[in-house]
C-alpha cells in the first residue's frame, strides 16, 4: 500500500507540473495500466522444499495461503513456489498421512519444511479374546466400532449399529418390525444356502449371549474378530466370526450423573400401488367371461347370488366381505356416501355399485420412539462403579406393532492390591413386542397379514 500511494502522488504531481489535459478514455487507460503495475508490486514470491523425516522430498504436498484461495503443490523434487500478497501471511502445508503444519512467513521469501507422519492411530488398544493388545503389534484381522456411532443414533437393536461402519461385516435388515434383530454376516459367512446359519458368536463381558435386548447406551466398545487366528480361542463356535462387546465401567473421579433422551419419528417412504376397485371388478368379470368360452360353468361366478370379490351378490348387512352389488332403490343412497358405480361388463343393462377402499392408510401410522437412559458413575483409584438404567418404547409403522425394552446394568471394580482385583457385573433386560406374523412374500400377503392384526371399521 505504501508503494501505491507513492506512485499515485508522483503520477498526479507530474500531471500538475505538465498541465496535461486528458480525455476520460485516456485517463481510464492510464489507471488500468497503473492498477496492473500496483498488483505486480503487491505480490511476493515464496519458495522452498518439503521433505519427510528421512530427508526424502515429498511430492503432492498442498501449500495454501491461510484465509485465501491461493495455493499450489510441491513437485517431484519437493520444491514449490507460491505468490503471496502479504509477507506476514501464513502458509498451511498438508498431505494425507502427515501432520498438517501452519508456518508464519514473517517476511521470509524461502521456507523449507519437514513433515512428520501421523502415528496417533497406532496407540489404540484392541481387545483380543482374553487380553488387550496395541494395534502396532496386532497381526490378526480385527475391526473396532467407533463408539460415537452409537451415541449419535438411537438404535433399537445393538447389532444395527454395525451396519455400514465396519469393514468385512455385512449387516442386513430382514424385517421392518420394531426391535427386530438384523442378519450379521462376517466375511461372507460359511454357508451360501443358509445365511441365517452364519451368525457370529456374541460375547458380552466374557459371557456368551445375544445382543437383542442389550441397550446400546450401556456399551463401551464393540470389536469383531474375523480371521482364523483371531477366532481360534473360541474353536468351532467362532468359525463365523466373534463379536466382543464390553459394557461401560466407572472412571476414577467425581460422581457423574447423566440423563439422555431420544425421540424418533418413523413413517413409510413408499406404499404399494394396487389396481383400483373399478379396475379389479372390470378385469375379473371379463376374465370369467373369456374363460367361460372353454368352461361355460364359470359364468356362474358372475351370478347375482355370488358373494365373491367380483360377484354382485353382496349386501349391506355386513355378512359379506365384499361390497360389489347391483344398484337398487334400497342401496341407491350409498352413492351419496362415497360409493362408486359402473356398468356391468357381463350385463350392460345393469349397474354395479361398490366401495373403493385403500387399506394402506388404514394400516400404516407414524411410529414414535422414546428412549430414556440415566447413568451414575464414579469412584477412586481403588474402586469404581457404573450404573445405568434405560427404557425404550418404539411404535412400528404398522398399527398395533410396537417394541419395549427395560434394561439395568451395574458394573463394579475393586482393586485390593497391585496383584489382586475384583470385578462384578450385574445385568437385567426385559423386552416385549407386538409384531406382525408374516404370511407370504408378495405385497397382497403382507397387506393381509397387517390387516389381520388391526381393527378396521368402515
Q: What CATH number did the domain enclosing 174 receive?
A: 2.170.130.10
The 8-class DSSP code of residue 396 comes to: -
Q: Do 303 and 227 share a structural domain?
A: no
Do 212 and 320 lie in one domain? The reply is no
Q: What is the count of structural domains for the chain?
A: 3
Phi-psi region of 325 (alpha: psi -120 to 50; beta: other; left: phi over 0): beta
Taking CA atoms, 409 is separated from 214, 218, 393, in Å, by: 10, 7, 18
Q: Are 389 and 430 in contact (CB under 8 A)?
A: no
88: exposed, middle or buried (Cβ count in 10 Å: 0-12, 13-18, 19+): exposed
Q: What is the pLDDT of residue 189?
A: 61
For 79-93, the pLDDT digits (tens) are: 999 988 888 889 999
User: Pick the residue with more confidence: 32 or 429?
Assistant: 429
Give residue 454's pLDDT band: very low, low, confident or very high (50, 70, 90): low
Tell whether 34 is covered by a domain. no
Pull the grid cell for residue 65: 495461503
pTM for the model stands at 0.59
Domain co-membership, 58 together with 165: no
Range of the domain at 224: 122-247
Nearest-5° Cα angle at 352, 348 to 356: 135
**326 within domain boundaries:** yes
Average pLDDT, stretch 91-106?
89
360-388 burial: b if 16+ Cβ within 10 Å, else e? eebbbbebebebebebebbbeeebbbbbb
Residues 90, 127 within the same domain:
no
- The whole-angstrom separation of Cα 395 and Cα 365 is 9
386 belongs to a structural domain: no
Residue 175 lies in a domain: yes
Same domain, 127 and 243: yes
Q: Mean pLDDT, the chain, as a whole number?
A: 80
Domain CATH number, residue 97: 2.60.40.1120
- Tens of pLDDT, residue by residue over 202-233, are 888 888 888 888 888 999 888 888 777 666 77
Asked if 190 and 143 sit in the same domain, the reply is yes
Domain boundary among 326, 357, 388: 357
Q: Does residue 458 fall inside a structural domain?
A: no
Domain for residue 404, yes or no?
A: no
Spatial distance between the Cα atoms of 210 and 204, rounded to a whole number of angstroms: 8
Q: 189 with 207, same domain?
A: yes
Residue 189 lies in a domain: yes
300 pLDDT above the threshold of 80: yes
H helix and E strand count, the chain: 7, 24
Q: Say whether both 136 and 202 belong to one domain.
A: yes
* pLDDT band, residue 164 (cuts 50/70/90): confident
- pLDDT-derived band at 37 (thresholds 50, 70, 90) equals very low
Amino acid at each position: 500500500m505504501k508503494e501505491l500511494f507513492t506512485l499515485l502522488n508522483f503520477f498526479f504531481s507530474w500531471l500538475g507540473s505538465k498541465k496535461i489535459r486528458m480525455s476520460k478514455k485516456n485517463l481510464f487507460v492510464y489507471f488500468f495500466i497503473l492498477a496492473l503495475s500496483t498488483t505486480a508490486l503487491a505480490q511476493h514470491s515464496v519458495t522452498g522444499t518439503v521433505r519427510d523425516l528421512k530427508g526424502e522430498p515429498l511430492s503432492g504436498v498442498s501449500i495454501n495461503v491461510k484465509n485465501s484461495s491461493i495455493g499450489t503443490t510441491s513437485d517431484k523434487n519437493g520444491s514449490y513456489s507460491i505468490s503471496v500478497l502479504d509477507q506476514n501471511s501464513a502458509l498451511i502445508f498438508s498431505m494425507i498421512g502427515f501432520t498438517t503444519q501452519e508456518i508464519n512467513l514473517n517476511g521470509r521469501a524461502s521456507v523449507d519444511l519437514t513433515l512428520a507422519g501421523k502415528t496417533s492411530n497406532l496407540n489404540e488398544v484392541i481387545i483380543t479374546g482374553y487380553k488387550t493388545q496395541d494395534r502396532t503389534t496386532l497381526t490378526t484381522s480385527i475391526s473396532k466400532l467407533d463408539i460415537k456411532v452409537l451415541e449419535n443414533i438411537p438404535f433399537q437393536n445393538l447389532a444395527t449399529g454395525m451396519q455400514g461402519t465396519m469393514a468385512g461385516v455385512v449387516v442386513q435388515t430382514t424385517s421392518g418390525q420394531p426391535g427386530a434383530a438384523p442378519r450379521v454376516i462376517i466375511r461372507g459367512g460359511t454357508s451360501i444356502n443358509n445365511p441365517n446359519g452364519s451368525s457370529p458368536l456374541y460375547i458380552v463381558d466374557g459371557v456368551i449371549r445375544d445382543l437383542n435386548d442389550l441397550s446400546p447406551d450401556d456399551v463401551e466398545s464393540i470389536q469383531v474378530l474375523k480371521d482364523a487366528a483371531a477366532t481360534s480361542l473360541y474353536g468351532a463356535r467362532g468359525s463365523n466370526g466373534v463379536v466382543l462387546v464390553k459394557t461401560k465401567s466407572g472412571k476414577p473421579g467425581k460422581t457423574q450423573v447423566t440423563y439422555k433422551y431420544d425421540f424418533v419419528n418413523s413413517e413409510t417412504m413408499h406404499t404399494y400401488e394396487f389396481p383400483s376397485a373399478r379396475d379389479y371388478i372390470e378385469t375379473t368379470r371379463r376374465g370369467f367371461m373369456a374363460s367361460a368360452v372353454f368352461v361355460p360353468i364359470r359364468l356362474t361366478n358372475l351370478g347375482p347370488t355370488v358373494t365373491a370379490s367380483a360377484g354382485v351378490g353382496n349386501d349391506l348387512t355386513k355378512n359379506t366381505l365384499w361390497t360389489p352389488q347391483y344398484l337398487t332403490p334400497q342401496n341407491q343412497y350409498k352413492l351419496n356416501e362415497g360409493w362408486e358405480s359402473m356398468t356391468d361388463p357381463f350385463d350392460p343393462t345393469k349397474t354395479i355399485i361398490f366401495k373403493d377402499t385403500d387399506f394402506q392408510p388404514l394400516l400404516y401410522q407414524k411410529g414414535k420412539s422414546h428412549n430414556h437412559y440415566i447413568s451414575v458413575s464414579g469412584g477412586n483409584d481403588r474402586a469404581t462403579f457404573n450404573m445405568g438404567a434405560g427404557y425404550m418404547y418404539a411404535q412400528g409403522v404398522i398399527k398395533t406393532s410396537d417394541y419395549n425394552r427395560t434394561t439395568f446394568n451395574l458394573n463394579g471394580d475393586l482393586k485390593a492390591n497391585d496383584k489382586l482385583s475384583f470385578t462384578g457385573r450385574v445385568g437385567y433386560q426385559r423386552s416385549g413386542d407386538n409384531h406382525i406374523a408374516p404370511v407370504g412374500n408378495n405385497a397382497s400377503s403382507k397387506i393381509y397379514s397387517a390387516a389381520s392384526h388391526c381393527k378396521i371399521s368402515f
